[in-house]
């Protein structure tokens, strides 16, 4: 990520200068997007550093969610950049200025090479990290933006049609909006502690309730601490005299084996009176009435 940041920051300066000298909104729009990339990569690096800080009694998970906050900021930044491009493009459609297509093409070609290099570096490191994936999407959007600027420059050089510059700028803005959607969606879902994508809480609850010896599963929660770190907690009721510790270990092993949930907190209690075992135990998300629980 540090390598990608160095590449994009260097090119951002070159693209701003090139955009001002050539009069190209497409270059300036792409430079604005590159600037958001620089900020997002800087945020991502800072968030990774914070996420590696050790846990404390006050912050039992450390600062792992810093990367989710950084991803959210990145998504919002992308939307702001897209709005700015739309406004500038509208003005250019009314009165398109002269654009130096040759210089525009040269600067965009350099940008394409820089973005390919940055995307290649980030693609090797993104893994399950939402933060790194957000930065990777920024760079991918810039790569496609550079392609768009090249197309606009070629059109201007061949036909002299100046509207190609704001038209490509609008397409870049739409690309920016599209790249922000998944990042915003995933980061908000994590911050709202929704069930992680790919996991079905109802299915997992029924699977646990159907485990031998389990009478009921309730107060089930499945959420994500940070990217690649899902967690589960639940209250389990078993028959009187049953080995509740054995049931807990079996359920933990099943959850890790079948659903890759290795951070689980299961409270296992005995029901006060024997319950006629149905084919499948009961599953509900409501809390159980404490009067029916044997507290040992």
For residue 154, count other CB atoms closer than 10 A to its CB.
15
CA distance 129 to 44: 10
Taking the chain, what is the end-to-end CA distance rounded to the nearest angstrom? 52
Q: Do 215 and 282 meet the contact criterion of CB atoms below 8 Å apart?
A: yes
**Quick one: tokens of 99?**
């654009």
CA distance 61 to 58: 9
CATH code of the domain occupying 2-191: 1.20.1510.10
In the chain, where are the structural domains located?
2-191, 201-294
For residue 82, count other CB atoms closer than 10 A to its CB.
25
Q: Which helix (H) or strand (E) holds 211?
A: none
In the chain, count H helices and then E strands. 8, 5
| Residues linked to residue 232 through DSSP beta bridges, in sequence order | 222, 264
CA distance 213 to 207: 12
Average pLDDT (33-54) is 73
Angle between helices 101-123 and 2-22 (to 10 degrees): 170
| Residues linked to residue 229 through DSSP beta bridges, in sequence order | 226
Read off the pLDDT band of 204 (50, 70, 90): very high
Read off the pLDDT band of 287 (50, 70, 90): low
**Quick one: tokens of 49?**
């550093």
The 10s digit of each residue's pLDDT in 156-201 is: 888 888 888 888 888 878 877 877 787 788 888 888 889 998 899 9
Read off the pLDDT band of 234 (50, 70, 90): very high
Superfamily of domain 201-294: ANL, C-terminal domain (3.30.300.30)
Q: Is the pLDDT of residue 257 over 90?
A: yes
Read off the pLDDT band of 126 (50, 70, 90): low
Q: Is the pLDDT of residue 254 over 90?
A: yes
What percent of the chain is modeled with pLDDT above 90? 17
Which of 266, 202, 257 has its CA nearest to residue 231?
Answer: 266
In angstroms, how far apart are the furthest CA atoms of the chain? 86
- Using DSSP's 3-state secondary structure scheme, residue 23 falls into coil
Name the pTM for this structure. 0.68
Q: Do 263 and 291 meet the contact criterion of CB atoms below 8 Å apart?
A: no
The 10s digit of each residue's pLDDT in 56-109 is: 777 766 677 777 887 788 788 878 878 888 888 888 888 877 777 888 888 888
The per-residue pLDDT for 41 is 77
Residues 6+ apart with CB under 8 A from 184: 72, 75, 76, 79
Q: Do 109 and 190 meet the contact criterion of CB atoms below 8 Å apart?
A: no
The 10s digit of each residue's pLDDT in 206-224 is: 999 999 889 889 999 999 8
Read off the pLDDT band of 5 (50, 70, 90): confident
**Quick one: tokens of 282?**
């009961």
CA distance 37 to 82: 13
The per-residue pLDDT for 90 is 87
Pairing of strands 214-226, 282-283: parallel
């Amino acid at each position: 990520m540090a390598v990608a940041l160095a590449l994009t920051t260097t090119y951002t300066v070159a693209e701003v200068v090139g955009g001002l000298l050539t009069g190209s909104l497409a270059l300036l729009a792409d430079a604005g997007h590159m600037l958001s990339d620089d900020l997002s990569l800087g945020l991502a690096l800072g968030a990774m550093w914070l996420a590696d800080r050790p846990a404390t009694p006050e912050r039992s998970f450390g600062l792992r969610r810093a990367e989710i906050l950084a991803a959210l900021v990145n998504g919002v930044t992308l939307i702001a950049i897209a709005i700015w491009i739309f406004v500038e493009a509208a003005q250019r459609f009314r009165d398109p200025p002269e654009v130096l297509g040759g210089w525009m093409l040269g600067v965009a070609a350099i940008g394409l090479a820089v973005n390919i290099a940055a995307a290649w570096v980030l693609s090797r490191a993104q893994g399950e990290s939402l933060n790194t994936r957000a930065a990777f999407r920024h760079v991918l959007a810039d790569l496609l933006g550079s392609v768009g600027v090249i197309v606009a420059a070629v059109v201007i050089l061949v036909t002299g049609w100046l509207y190609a510059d704001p038209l490509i700028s609008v397409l870049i803005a739409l690309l920016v909006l599209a790249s922000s959607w998944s990042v915003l969606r995933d980061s908000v879902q994590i911050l709202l502690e929704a069930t992680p994508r790919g996991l079905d809480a109802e299915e997992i609850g029924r699977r646990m309730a159907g485990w031998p010896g389990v009478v009921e599963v309730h107060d089930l929660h499945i959420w994500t601490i940070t990217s690649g770190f899902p967690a589960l907690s639940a209250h389990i009721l078993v028959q009187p005299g049953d080995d509740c510790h054995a049931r807990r270990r079996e359920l933990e092993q099943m959850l890790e084996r079948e659903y890759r949930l290795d951070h689980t907190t299961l409270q296992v209690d005995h029901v006060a009176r024997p319950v006629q075992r149905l084919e499948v135990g009961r599953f509900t998300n409501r809390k159980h009435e404490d009067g029916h629980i044997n507290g040992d």
